[in-house]
Amino acid sequence: LFAGDTDFLKGVVAMSGLPPADRLEVCFAGRSNVGKSSLINALTGRKGLARASNTPGRTQEINYFTCGPELFLVDLPGYGFAEAPVAVVEKWQRLLKSYLQGRQTLRRAFVLIDHRHGVKKVDEEIMTLLDQAAVTFQVVLTKEDKVKPKDREKILQQVRKALSTHPAAYPELIVTSSDKGDGIPTLRATIATLE
């Protein structure tokens, strides 16, 4: 699945802009700055593919990447960016909702959680949205390299507890570091099992 060429396809700002639903698709959701774009870069082995920046809220469109002929990787706008204007936030939320509910070929959503911080209120909100849309989601912990080993288990327990209340949650967590490459093969293998 990851053998083919990877490329940026387009940024989408409305449902009418979505590419044809002609292949498997997975999306990456998470708070601004959690590491969505970095994860896509690590997954595809192409550093500059999805823009990764220090400026939260940089990715404001639904960004489509082709990964060979059979897979779309979808980088969703980061949520929970307090400084974005209310109207902008509401527009994203509407688009996100329509996308999650309406995209037939979406097989799994990966909800990225910063391993230092665990599940926050805005993460709960997106998980509830995924429950309602009946989109199976799986948590990917990011920035593992920034957590002290002694703090890891406590956060993992908090995440597991939060997931237990969400019917659409897939229970297995994937712990990653886009910087070090940890967990990236596991995530690739997980995507490869989806049909």
Binder of residue 56, out of ligand GTP, Mg ion, none (CB less than 5 to 8 A by kind):
ligand GTP
Q: From 31-39, 65-73, 85-93, 163-171, give the range in contact with Mg ion by CB under 5 A.
A: 31-39
Shorter beta-carbon distance to Mg ion: residue 54 or 104: 54
Shorter beta-carbon distance to ligand GTP: residue 47 or 154: 47
**Alpha-carbon gap, residue 159 to 153, rounded angstroms:** 10
Q: Residue type for 65, please? A: F
Q: Of 125, 32, 107, whose CA–CA distance to 76 is shortest?
A: 32
Selected from 6, 28, 30, 37, the binder of Mg ion by CB under 5 A is 37
Selected from 30, 80, 118, 183, the binder of ligand GTP by CB under 6 A is 30
Please report, for residues 18, 28, 78, 149, the alpha-carbon distance to residue 63 in angstroms, rounded to integers and kept in the order given. 10, 10, 11, 34
The pair of three-digit structure tokens given for residue 143, joined into one six-digit string:
């920035």
3-state secondary structure of 174: strand
Binder of residue 108, out of Mg ion, ligand GTP, none (CB less than 5 to 8 A by kind):
none
Q: Angle at Cα 100 formed by Cα 55 and Cα 193, nearest 5°?
A: 95
59 binds Mg ion (CB under 5 A): yes
Pick out residues in 166-195 that bind ligand GTP (CB under 6 A).
Answer: 177-179
Q: Of 193, 80, 96, 183, whose CA–CA distance to 141 is shortest?
A: 183
Binder of residue 142, out of Mg ion, ligand GTP, none (CB less than 5 to 8 A by kind):
ligand GTP
Binding mask 89-128 for ligand GTP (x = CB under 6 A): ----------------------------------------
Selected from 6, 38, 66, 190, the binder of ligand GTP by CB under 6 A is 38
Q: Of 59, 73, 34, whose CA–CA distance to 188 is shortest?
A: 73
